[in-house]
Amino acid sequence: FAQVTNPAIDSIREEIVMSLECYIGPEENLLEAGPRHAHRLLVPHPILTNREMAAIKEMDHRGWRSRVLDITFPRHAGPDGMWASLDRVCREAEEAIDEGYALLVLSDRRMDARRVAIPALVACGAVHHHLIRRIKRTRIGIVIETGEAREVHHHCLLVGYGADAINPYVAFEALWQARRDGLAELDRFDSDEAITAAYRKAVAKGMLKVMAKMGISTLQSYKGAQIFEAVGLNDEVIQRCFAGTPSRVEGIGFRVLAEESLRRHACGFPERPRRRETVLPNPGQFHWRAGGERHGWTPETIANLQLAARTGSRQAYEEFARVANEDARTRCTLRGVLRFKPGANGGPIPIEEVEPAKEIVKRFTTGAMSFGSISEEAHTALAEAMNRIGGKSNTGEGGEDPMRLEPLPDGQPNPRRSAIKQVASGRFGVTIYYLTHADELQIKIAQGAKPGEGGELPGRKVDGNIARIRHSTPGVGLISPPPHHDIYSIEDLKQLIYDLKNANPTARISVKLVSEMGVGTVAAGVAKAHADVILISGHDGGTGASPLTSIKHAGLPWELGLAETHQTLVLNDLRSRVVLQTDGGLKTGRDVVIAALLGAEEFGFATAPLISLGCMMMRKCHLNTCPVGVATQDPELRRHFRGKPDHVINYLFMVAEEARRIMAQLGFRAISRMIGRVDVLQRDPAIRHWKIDGLDFSAILTPARKKHERVQVFCCQEQDHGLEQALDNELLRRAQPALRAGRPVRIEVPVANTDRAVGAMLSHQVARHRGLAMLPDGTIHIKCRGSAGQSFGAFLARGITLELEGDANDYVGKGLSGGRLIVYPPPQSTFRAEENILVGNVVLYGATGGQAFFRG
């Protein structure tokens, strides 16, 4: 997925620029023109029906012939049989090219009680890279006929590693059987062809979405691009099947892959047949099921956490932490396979010498959950809890009720105000008043559970109150597109950071990224763009309403991204300028300590605080049917909400106390002393398993390399945002009568294209001093002459008129918040204004109110 370096694509609303059409078959020399370039097969959809597959197999026309290669191996050969069969398939593929065949069909249809299927991706990747090494890949097309591929991710992997088309014949047969058994909607699917067409359409939508995450618009560009990272495959497998794919923690090899294939085969063809199952068991991949896939949150952990949070019981929390940490150790997370190295920091110290819990909790934040996705009661409970302990709650991307921003009569901050205000691609509720009342402004580039995708709040959850806060219409679904349309490069992000810093000079500017290979390089660019905080989000977090295609296969564990980011920032002497946060599945004090040792200074929690407020992990967040009133706007269901701020406070203090106990054992007196101390971590030799014995944690546990000894490994200096050079400083000085007494002021100033975000800092002061009502229209009238820089009139407050005689660059009126903008060419200009460009791109993006007049 793409983040910052280039924009994602909106695969739904920008589908017109995307295509799954692809030409397959032998390619000619691109440097030589000739009719043979057109002698290729056009495939309109990469998922082939059985009829299309049969036609390809029987093809013998104008030089188009196909050869079927068997990708199975004999069961009696055991694990070694897979390697030998891969050799055979690669050899036969090369022979087929030499014999003039145009297409290869890699088929596992010969799989039976005596023959085991090679994983289709392994076979496809092995043949693809073998032919590349032999410089023969462009002379033949590869079609996969497999019973294994069924999900969108499977098809994307096959195409990404060289497949030209796929025939998932077992997926089709399973759907046909479901229709006959009455498990599908018969009124919609009255034939096998209809249900096949529906499956292909669904896969097409999913593949377009996956391509869009990376900003790729055509399948031809995606094919063979290998835009993946492997987690848990060793170098032997990578070099043979997936050459060039990053695999930072190594892992299993061909023997384990073969052993897994044999075990799956034995389930389908047992030596002693058991009672025939008419329905396959639910493996619990997406929802917890007894006896199914292990999940981080189980009924036991949820019950223990809620008991601990509601009663303050240390015993209940310790049982929760024991189960959660044991789950991590039983091969659920990378951090679970690590242990603290005895004596690495000198030895234990008395716990009384360790930083108190009340200081540790100030480093805690809650995740970005919008008012709309969760109920008002849950949203305000989180805010009150974090304000009471000195931490920070996050509004999410849905804005915040202005009534929660108003200071108390005694001037104290409102206890229901969220400290972190998020700015996402939809810009819902982002006004100058919203930005002014923030301690931190967070730009959401990507979300851990669904990076490269936007967000959607269904219309049934958009009631009148939410619509008012988001400046939208009740009952109408709200969509945040995958890209910020004012961020198409790192320079655009730098401009938005500057705009937000002008809109609130005292707030920290945070950028939220998601863990992936290369996130360290992206983070270095973000630090140079003058972000104050960088959040590395892991794939485990925020899965309540995420698409199923993203939950399992997009994003990486925060351990990988955090370690890479810390190492890269230290290497480039940028670490001292930014605070490094992480979130995504943090549950216990052990998680906090490991995150600190890997480089984090602050720590985000989202699911766990919601569970402490009563969430039961029903995973119905998007349906507005949450039975405990946490993730619903239904008034009847909201009455069931029983959460209190004290529950969140109890939980977070117990996390901090657990962290203190570990710190005392390790000899650390403060969190700041632990940051980046990976020398205190090591692979736990006591955890043995045939599938994890090959893991190599050197990429995570390598100490950050410094250019010189003065390089710091934690944030100790502020970014220089250059606000003292802003034109608004002059405007503020001359607008004091309006700010203090509301008297009308008229100002005339020249502007140049180096004057960026003109009016933003002034608007901040209007919102801060004059409150939600701001100023009467036209109170401050500023006449500018010249060519204004980017973001002219950004977040312009009510009561300010910006009149420009000249022209302006991009982002004019971004986030307009009630002000008035007037732009027109100089009277002495000789061109026709209405036929020429007067302002740049992305005009009025995120505007919520006001007036704009452009003559041009």
Judged by DSSP in three states, 43 sits in strand
Question: Do 778 and 803 form a contact (C-beta atoms < 8 A)?
Answer: no
Range of the domain at 745: 723-854
Give ∠ CA 134-137-141 in degrees, rounded to 5. Answer: 150
Alpha-carbon Rg for the chain, nearest whole angstrom, is: 29
Phi-psi region of 25 (alpha: psi -120 to 50; beta: other; left: phi over 0): left
Q: Give the total number of structural domains in the chain.
A: 3
Q: Do 772 and 687 reside in the same domain of the chain?
A: no
The string of DSSP codes covering 720-750 is: ---GGG-THHHHHHHTHHHHHH---EEEEEE
Q: What is the reported pLDDT for 187?
A: 63
Asked if residue 819 belongs to a domain, the reply is yes
Q: What is the reported pLDDT for 447?
A: 86
The residues near 99 (Cβ < 8 Å, ≥ 6 apart) are 67
Q: What is the 3-state secondary structure (H, E, C) of 351-395?
A: HHHCCCHHHHHHHEEEEECCECCECHHHHHHHHHHHHHHCCEEEC
Q: Do 672 and 742 reside in the same domain of the chain?
A: no
Give ∠ CA 539-46-243 in degrees, rounded to 5. Answer: 55
Choose one of 200, 228, 256: the last residue of a domain. Answer: 228
Q: What is the reported pLDDT for 758?
A: 98
Distance CA 401, CA 67 (A): 65
- Picking from 62, 84, 60, the residue whose alpha carbon sits closest to that of residue 74 is 84
Question: Do 486 and 845 form a contact (C-beta atoms < 8 A)?
Answer: yes
Asked if residue 249 belongs to a domain, the reply is no
Distance CA 367, CA 421 (A): 11
Q: Do 666 and 787 reside in the same domain of the chain?
A: no
The residues near 270 (Cβ < 8 Å, ≥ 6 apart) are none
Q: Do 494 and 542 reside in the same domain of the chain?
A: yes
Asked if residue 196 belongs to a domain, the reply is yes
Distance CA 336, CA 692 (A): 12
Kindly give the interhelix angle for 50-57 and 169-180, rounded to the nearest 10 degrees: 140
Alpha helices in 758-828 (DSSP H): 760-770
Regarding beta strands 338-340 and 364-368, do their DSSP bridges make them parallel or antiparallel, or are they unpaired? Answer: unpaired
Asked if residue 42 belongs to a domain, the reply is yes
Q: Do 686 and 801 reside in the same domain of the chain?
A: no
- For 790-814, what is each residue's pLDDT tens digit? 999 999 999 999 999 999 999 999 9
Q: Do 688 and 730 reside in the same domain of the chain?
A: no
Q: What is the reported pLDDT for 560?
A: 95
Asked if residue 276 belongs to a domain, the reply is no
Q: Do 649 and 781 reside in the same domain of the chain?
A: no
Q: What is the reported pLDDT for 621?
A: 83
Q: Do 674 and 729 reside in the same domain of the chain?
A: no
CA 22 to chain centre: 29
Q: What is the reported pLDDT for 546?
A: 73
Q: Do 665 and 533 reside in the same domain of the chain?
A: yes
Judged by DSSP in three states, 422 sits in strand
Q: Which residue is listed with tokens 């890997």? A: 598
Give me the CATH number covering residue 745. 2.160.20.60
Locate 303 and state its tokens. Answer: 């019950």
Q: What is the reported pLDDT for 133?
A: 96
Q: Which residue is listed with tokens 């593949």? A: 207
The residues near 486 (Cβ < 8 Å, ≥ 6 apart) are 492, 495, 496, 810, 811, 814, 842, 845
| Cα atoms in the 13 Å half-sphere on the side-chain side of 722 | 15
Q: Do 641 and 742 reside in the same domain of the chain?
A: no
Give me the CATH number covering residue 419. 3.20.20.70
Choose one of 701, 731, 750: the last residue of a domain. Answer: 701
Q: What is the reported pLDDT for 267?
A: 86
Q: Do 639 and 522 reside in the same domain of the chain?
A: yes
Asked if residue 146 belongs to a domain, the reply is yes
Q: What is the reported pLDDT for 407?
A: 86
Choose one of 228, 260, 292: the last residue of a domain. Answer: 228
What's the pTM? 0.94
Asked if residue 242 belongs to a domain, the reply is no
Q: Do 436 and 497 reside in the same domain of the chain?
A: yes
Q: What is the reported pLDDT for 210?
A: 94
Averaged pLDDT, groups of 10, the chain, 856 residues long: 88 92 89 86 94 92 91 94 95 96 95 95 97 95 96 96 96 90 74 92 95 94 94 94 93 94 90 69 76 81 95 94 81 86 88 96 94 93 97 94 91 92 94 96 90 85 92 91 91 97 98 94 97 94 68 88 96 96 94 97 95 89 89 92 96 97 95 95 85 87 91 93 96 95 96 97 96 94 97 97 96 97 93 90 95 94
The residues near 325 (Cβ < 8 Å, ≥ 6 apart) are 336, 588, 590
- Picking from 459, 529, 463, the residue whose alpha carbon sits closest to that of residue 719 is 529
